[in-house]
Structure 1
Amino acid sequence: MCTRRQNLDNKFGGVAVDAYVASNVIFVGQVTVWDGASVWPGCVLRNDLNKIGVDSRSNVQERSVLHAAGLLPQIVDLNSFP
């Protein structure tokens, strides 16, 4: 996996061992991808003030951009459609 991961305020997330993240995905700041989740080619997950999470068995599909800038974290779960 060659995903680009950029530090923002010394905050990093993590990617579960069995998650799929395409090689050209960009993570900025605290982004966490849980078990069985996937992030497909061309996606950018960027946060300035909070965290982003892709919950178990959820996915972020091709060329999606997620930006968490508010007071609450952005969590993609089985009931979300990014």
Structure 2
Amino acid sequence: MSSTYDVIADILTKDYEVDSTALSAEATFVDLDLDSLAIVELGYVLQQRFGVRLHDLADLATVGDLVAAVDGRRATAEGGVPS
């Protein structure tokens, strides 16, 4: 897994008390018992941590999608091309 995944997993387990055994790239926010308010809050936490804005968290289905969105925004912010 990527370092972005590791950071997000750490935030989810420590700040949102998500069971680490439930975490995977395929896990959905519903699987992790995160409601819409928690997802919005997570967006702000990730914005502070990674320095990117994530406006479309509600459109993401899985933790893997979230990792890809963060990595894509970081690449774009750094002048790269998102993968």
TM-score (norm 2): 0.28
Q: Which has the higher helix share?
A: 2
TM-score of the pair, normalised by structure 1 = 0.28
